Amino acid sequence: MLVASAKADVDIEQTAQEVRAEFGSMFTPAGIETLDPERFKAFLAYDGNRHWTYMHRWGGKLTADLSLLRKALLALVDEDEPILSDRIDIARGMVDGLGNATFSIILQLTHPTKYGLYDRVTGLGLERIGKHPKDAVPRFRSLSEGKQYEHINRVLKELSTKYGISLWALDTIWGKAWNPR
């Protein structure tokens, strides 16, 4: 039912396109070099990203050392470095507050068909449908956060393909399943 609803809701993809148009360039190498902390905080606020209600809490912490945030974001989005888990682990190790939700949202904005969104609600959704990699991957919890995300992302992409919906729409489904309005 939620998949059919997401497929029929043209506002989901319209919103995704608008948010990408407004903030996507902020997470390119050129955008990161000139990253404005207030604009970054505006992206983290629900009024800016129009999808996530909790990210604004990390704005002050993430922008406390703007130079370090820029370095972390450059490492994260560096597609010349083929090992995603390494990029994530490097970026997360540089900046306190760059959690799963924030880094995966940035990756999703830069490559909407390549990276899914991973936060607590996504994890709950994956557990609920029996698709969380923690049950299939030996010692999942002992893996680095980057390696964990690689496994999670693989499942998210499989679900996106299986149901014929975007990764952004899939995240919308998790949100509606856990926070019905």
Domain-wise residue ranges, the chain:
2-178
pLDDT over 80 (residue 176): no
CA-based nearest residue to 51, from 6, 90, 81: 6
Kindly report, residue by residue over 71-129, the tens digit of the pLDDT: 999 999 999 998 999 999 999 999 988 999 999 999 999 999 999 999 988 999 999 89
What is the reported pTM?
0.91
| CA pseudo-torsion sign 6, 129, 122, 159 | negative
CA angle 172, 179, 175 (to 5 degrees): 20
pLDDT over 70 (residue 177): no
* Per-residue pLDDT band at 155 (split at 50, 70, 90): very high
pLDDT over 90 (residue 149): yes
Nearest-angstrom CA–CA distance, 78 and 65: 20
Taking a C-beta distance cutoff of 8 angstroms, is the pair 72, 95 a contact?
Answer: yes
